[in-house]
Amino acid sequence: MLLGLGGLYGVAATFGVAPSTLANPTAPEVTQCRPDADELPGNVTGLNCCPPTSNNIVDFGLPRSHRFTRIRRPAHLVDKKYLEKYTKAIALMKSLPFDDPRNFYQQANVHCAYCNGAYSQVGFPEIDLQVHGSWLFFPFHRAYLYFYERILGKLINDPKFAIPYWNWDHPDGMTLPAIYADPTSPLYDPIREPSHTPLVTLDLNYDGKDHDPVARDELIDRNLKLMYRQMISNAKNPGLFMGKPYRAGDTKSTAGSLENVPHGPLHNWVGKKEATNWENMGNFYSAARDPIFYAHHANVDRMWSVWKGLGPKNKDFNDRDFLDSSFIFYDENAQAVRIKVRDCLDTKKLGYDYQHMDLPWLNA
């Protein structure tokens, strides 16, 4: 598995599904996390991706009902009152003791552990678990953001708190959200491409190079047409949109359309070109160190829900190996929780939803 996001998504179309002698759901062997993760860039040394361990892991259970629904709003539309809550929550998360699994940097380590070979697959100690490039991509990141959001809400004593989403599929959201660009804010990350400011229209098909300037209207038109292709033309069934099966014992799979583009290019667009490994957002191990990672993936998560509403054939896999694959996260009370993919299929059952925005790419 290639390490840089650019490398992975540049070759994703060549991946095949490794033959499995045993069809099983995948799960991380968290009790044997490797501090020297197998797939870290060669020039990164002394980094331990392993989050704190726990011998007390409970199984997640969907509540029968919710008193309210947390609403995730577009980052470019949040008001001052919300921004004050959000920045306070991130500041508190960053100030937690480093060995607290809810600490911001330990939360970032979760992504590193699942994406850079710190975990092997249960039952296959020689095979790394990788949550990118397969049908695990959407459910893993949904569950990851779910617990991250709950932690933030607990820190500010607001169970209704919801993270924002970067609305990059809409013309009004096709720039770096301004709330992440204030150097005095805990939402800021200094390791970003400095030329990609909130005044610069993003390129959803970014290839690592800033080409000759293109008029904003033309670039927006290209972005909308790309969204149509990745959400409709190239996403006519679950395998094409979500990625192909990845069962215990498999070493490779194939990424879905949206994971390839624009998800991957946007990581690289934010990452710093002059950094050795395109840190922070441009590499698996460091991507979640940037607070914008969670807003980016919130819109990725939103696109999963949108896709399922576009037509009767757009349904989740009903394969038990998909539904019973699982991940382990820490909740808002620092309790280790095992959550299965089957629990991640409906945002409303998880107690959150997205503020409605038009989908102009539907007519592109």
Catalytically annotated residues: 111, 132, 141, 263, 267, 284, 297
CB-based burial of residue 353 (10 Å sphere; 0-12 exposed, 13-18 middle, 19+ buried)? middle
CB-based burial of residue 305 (10 Å sphere; 0-12 exposed, 13-18 middle, 19+ buried)? middle
- Residue 351: closest CA among 81, 58, 64: 64
Question: Torsion angle of alpha carbons 236, 237, 240, 242, nearest 10°?
Answer: 120
User: How far, in whole angstroms, is CA 106 from its chain's centroid?
Assistant: 16
Three-state SS at 59: strand
Based on its alpha-carbon atoms, the radius of gyration of the chain, rounded to whole angstroms, reads: 19
Token couple for 181: 């660009």
Q: How many residues are there in the chain? A: 364
Sequence-separated (6 or more) residues with CB below 8 Å from residue 1 = 8, 39, 117, 128, 130, 132, 133, 252
Which residue(s) pair with 338 in the sheet?
59, 328
- Residue 306: closest CA among 226, 246, 247, 362: 362
At residue 336, φ and ψ (nearest 5 deg) are -75, 130
The helix (H) or strand (E) run that includes residue 125 is strand 124-128
Q: Give the separation between CA 137 and CA 38, rounded to whole angstroms.
A: 20
User: How far, in whole angstroms, is CA 251 from its chain's centroid?
Assistant: 21
Q: Quick check: 202 and 174 in contact, CB under 8 A?
A: yes
Q: Provide the residue type at 344 as one letter.
A: C
